[in-house]
Amino acid sequence: MATKKSRYTLYLDESQTHKYNPASHKNEQYHFCMAGIIIADDDYAKLEKSVNILKRTIWPDFQKPEQIILHQMLILDAEKGRLDPIKYPEYAKFNKRVERKKIYSELKKCSWIIK
């Protein structure tokens, strides 16, 4: 009797950070990171549903919040006052601590799927 083999997909993302040195006017202390997550294809629909619920909760005033791409760097830029709110109006709210706490709290609710 043959057993069904599960299929998985690996999702990768990279990030690069640096510190700006005002004395030398150069970016220094570069750090590069790559992270991945493996999702069972059978679980993808549950994860997508969970993430879309998160987006609707975080961005209830937007017509199609499911189409907004989650970017940690834009949340950080809003926190640090570096965000261009004209270019990224959906992230402008994250200049408030309460909004940042809300998104991280909601993200924890999604994490049960990937455990």
Task: Judge whether residue 2 has pLDDT over 70.
Answer: no
Q: What is the pLDDT of residues 45-54, one digit of tens each?
A: 988 898 899 9
Split at pLDDT 50, 70, 90, the class of 89 is very high
For CA atoms 19, 21, 22, 26, the dihedral sign is negative
115 or 30, higher pLDDT: 30
Classify each residue of 83-101 as buried b or exposed e, where b means 16 or more C-beta atoms within 10 Å of its C-beta: beeeeeebbbbbbeeebbe
102 or 113, higher pLDDT: 102
Provide the percentage of residues in the chain whose pLDDT is more than 70: 93
Split at pLDDT 50, 70, 90, the class of 99 is very high
